[in-house]
Structure 1
């Protein structure tokens, strides 16, 4: 379970992360990674979005993944994986994870591997 300080909790945060962040994908998911500190240095974005207290995660698990039971199971597993990798990210990072249809059949280990892979790809694109 993710603590409250590690959750994206508004549509503005989701929208800003997806528009301003770097996108990278893997076999089971797509990640949008945005450093909210970028908005503080004048390079764009809204300063009201910036926060501290740890990286923030948001999940998008659509009906393409499966029925409600499958979607909720996938969401629970993704939240667990996000909590495991939170320590590796900057406290100002915002991450939106969009589950693709193959994520329904993927194991938690595969989801973790794919999430780490996608986050690392997004970091390379970002230039960190």
Structure 2
């Protein structure tokens, strides 16, 4: 279980991360991670929320996926920058994979959205800084939060 200070709890918090300005998003066939730097002074601890829809399966399957994701994220809390909010959304394929595969995917996606220790801002109608690699070309699995609807 994540400590209370590390949890996103309100619908407004979730909306700010997934739909608000200044966020970044990276996704795969297993997970989608949204991130947003909310405290520029970086004194607030990182907060995380989870979205596991009914598309994954029944209540038992959804709760198993949530527990696995919570445990994986809890182990990574010390490495997250202060003042960042994350939303981790499980895709239907996440129900059928072992935890080490989820962990590898989570680490890769966290690296994308938190590149350089700060959340890359996204621009309405444009590509996020995290979507553009060293070559200057956008990657296929990272798009701005605004186009994720």
Both proteins in one fold, TM over 0.5: yes
Measure the CA separation in 2 of the matches of 1:8 and 1:123.
18
Cα RMSD (Å) of the superposition?
2.0
Q: Is this contact kept in 2: 1:27–1:114, CA < 8 A?
A: no
More helix by share: 1
Instruction: Tell me the TM-score normalized by structure 1.
Output: 0.84
Point out where structure 2 has 5 or more consecutive residues left out of the alignment: 121-128, 131-149
Structure 2 residue corresponding to 1:94, chosen from 81, 85, 89: 85
Aligned residue in 2 for 1:121: 112
1:60-115 C-alpha deviation (Å, 9 max, x unpaired)? 00011111100000000000011011111112110001100111011111111111
Measure the CA separation in 1 of the matches of 2:114 and 2:68.
23
Structure 1 residue corresponding to 2:30, chosen from 28, 31, 35: 28
Give the Å deviation of 1:116: 1.0
Bigger radius of gyration: 2
Measure the CA separation in 2 of the matches of 1:61 and 1:22.
19
Q: Structure 1 residue 8 and structure 2 residue 5: aligned?
A: no
Structure 1 residue corresponding to 2:70, chosen from 69, 79, 83: 79
Point out where structure 1 has 5 or more consecutive residues left out of the alignment: 41-49
Q: How many residues align?
A: 117
Give structure 1 regions of 4+ aligned residues with deviation exceeding 2 angstroms: none
